[in-house]
Amino acid sequence: MFGIGHGVSAFVTHAISLVSEQASSGASRPVPPDTEYASVRELGEQMARPGGFTSADLVGYLQDRIRKLDPQLSAIIELNPQALEIARELDRERAAGKVRGPLHGIPVLLKDNIETGDTQQTSAGAFGLVGAAAQKDAFVVERLREQGAVILGKTNLTELAGFRGGPDGLSSRGGQTRNPHQTDAQVGGSSSGSAAAVSAGLAPLAVGTETSGSIIVPAALNGVVGFKPSVGLLSRSGIIPASHRQDTPGPMTRSVFDAALMLNAMSGRDVQDSASVEAPQGVDYTALLRPGALKDKRIGYLATFSANGETLSVDNSPQFSKTLEVLKAQGAILVPVNMRLADATRYGELLFADVKDELNDYLGKRQGLPVRSVSELIDFNEQRDGTDTDHQPVLKEVDASTLTPEERKPLWDGLIQDFQGTVDELISGQNLDAMVSDFETNSYFAVAAAGYPGISVPSGKDDDGVPTSAYFFGPRWGEPKLLAVAHGYEQAAQVAIKPKF
């Protein structure tokens, strides 16, 4: 029904094998075992050390790891055939004394809805969007390249970022992404491949995108850090859209510090995205990430959460109780709060109408694709996959939307203001530095609807061996303080986990 099913396609498998063989023949220094789980700082120190491995060595090592492991995971949808060439050029720059920044020579994976102006596809996992490559890099990709990052390839995702309909992590092009910790466990969506790849050590860094939970959920389920910034902090130019009111790219990494480094690299004013013009400029998001950051911080926590339709006390969540104990032991002042639920009755209706207009506009402007509109994409999918079952229910709902932009604007304005109020009332009313909740509370939805920042940080594993996560969030443009709190928790908890293959 969805094309190739579990595993990568024969074409992608061949491409991965070919690139890996090229990498192996060019590697000049062995890369030590477990390098796949090194931090950006550690990788940079190795590349700067006389006799240490190079960026090209690292790229070749990761390409070989992808060739061996990704058939189990289907996290990678396409490798960049230019990655080794780019890495070698960056190695020459380093040898000549030019280092662009902390990401110089560091491999980065991109979700397959982020444009690259090279030979790679930007398809959101859909065969209907396979054709001519994009004409230029997305703004955040330009920034990453300027900082010396090596674009290693594209990651799998829930097709059309979840707006086709189907299981999390499944796309026609990439098959079914699997959770590296347990291949039958939930992988989350829609940035499934980015989360699974970082978790599995296929790359140190990845970029995901989120409209509502698409960074936070897969990061939590795969045991990595996922940071969803305030809407507008990172430009959306060159990213296949859903809603300009909700969309944002964001880092997916193995540490809070590395997520902050990625924010430093990707942020910047983009005249093509009006929301980014309002964002703070020139901020060093690593500046507050230091020991003792939690002392005397007022952190609100949700005293109740919902499970299976039942409202439960935080005492019923042993994992979250441990998170609170860690925060308290570091000197944080914990404040129990109850979060008001904003009215989300029309959220889906408004979102689908946005998706219809913005995706139609995108497809109409993108050159060299087999479809030029949502309705043409639906027809393409039916011709390719048949009509025996409804394999694109969400996309059909999107196409059936009738709300005009003029009708939507006041409704969106009121809804977003209401969701912002649910966070602002707590932060301001209780004089809080940040909020924390168990991932299972689904508070990430309210934060996403408000356009506010949130970060998922691993907190351990449950009885089934599946990762658990603590979720921190705060007000608009509150990234520096939020990152400091999340980093303080991460360093104290020390629960970074690796999957066992």
Each residue's pLDDT tens digit, 340-394: 889 999 999 999 999 999 999 999 999 999 999 999 999 999 999 999 899 999 9
Whether 52 is covered by a domain: the verdict is: no
Whether 163 is covered by a domain: the verdict is: yes
Whether 445 is covered by a domain: the verdict is: yes
On the question of a cis peptide bond just before residue 9, with omega within 30 degrees of 0, the verdict is no
Q: What is the pLDDT of residue 54?
A: 98
Stretch 85-100: mean pLDDT: 98
Indicate the pLDDT class of residue 6, thresholds 50, 70 and 90. Answer: very low
State pLDDT tens for residues 180-207: 999 999 999 999 999 999 999 999 999 9
Whether 89 is covered by a domain: the verdict is: no
Q: What is the pLDDT of residue 496?
A: 81
State pLDDT tens for residues 230-266: 999 999 999 999 999 999 999 999 999 999 999 999 9
Q: What is the pLDDT of residue 310?
A: 66
Q: What is the pLDDT of residue 306?
A: 54
Indicate the pLDDT class of residue 466, thresholds 50, 70 and 90. Answer: very high
Q: What is the pLDDT of residue 341?
A: 84
Q: Which residues are known catalytic residues? A: 111, 190, 214
Let me know: does 301 contact 332? Beta carbons within 8 Å.
Answer: no
Q: What is the pLDDT of residue 267?
A: 98
CA angle 177, 181, 185 (to 5 degrees): 60
- Bridge partner list, 253: 205, 225
Phi, psi dihedral angles at 110 (to 5 degrees): -120, 140
pLDDT at 92 over 60: yes
pLDDT at 74 over 80: yes
Instruction: CATH number of the domain at 472, please.
Output: 3.90.1300.10
State pLDDT tens for residues 315-326: 777 889 999 999
Q: What is the pLDDT of residue 1?
A: 27
Q: What is the pLDDT of residue 497?
A: 85
Q: How long is the chain?
A: 501
- Per the prediction, the chain carries an average pLDDT of 93
For the chain, what is the domain count?
1
Spatial neighbors of 296 by CB under 8 A, at least 6 apart, are 331, 332, 333
CA distance 234 to 242: 15
Percent of the chain with pLDDT over 70: 92
Q: What is the pLDDT of residue 29?
A: 86
pLDDT at 24 over 80: no
Q: What is the pLDDT of residue 317?
A: 79
CA distance 270 to 255: 27
pLDDT at 399 over 90: yes
pLDDT at 17 over 70: no
Instruction: State the residue range of the domain holding 292.
Output: 74-82+98-501
Q: Can you say how many angstroms the Cα of residue 92 is from the centroid of all Cα atoms in its chain?
A: 31
Spatial neighbors of 230 by CB under 8 A, at least 6 apart, are 248, 279, 451, 452, 453, 476, 477, 478, 479
Q: What is the pLDDT of residue 87?
A: 98
Let me know: does 166 contact 381? Beta carbons within 8 Å.
Answer: no
Q: What is the pLDDT of residue 500?
A: 85
pLDDT at 270 over 90: yes
Whether 308 is covered by a domain: the verdict is: yes
Q: What is the pLDDT of residue 305?
A: 55
Work out whether strand 225-228 and strand 248-253 pair parallel, antiparallel, or are unpaired: antiparallel
Whether 91 is covered by a domain: the verdict is: no
Let me know: does 473 contact 239? Beta carbons within 8 Å.
Answer: no
Phi, psi dihedral angles at 359 (to 5 degrees): -70, -40
Stretch 102-126: mean pLDDT: 98
Let me know: does 115 contact 134? Beta carbons within 8 Å.
Answer: yes
More reliable by pLDDT, 19 or 4: 19
Whether 36 is covered by a domain: the verdict is: no
Work out whether strand 150-155 and strand 107-111 pair parallel, antiparallel, or are unpaired: parallel
Indicate the pLDDT class of residue 308, thresholds 50, 70 and 90. Answer: low
pLDDT at 2 over 50: no
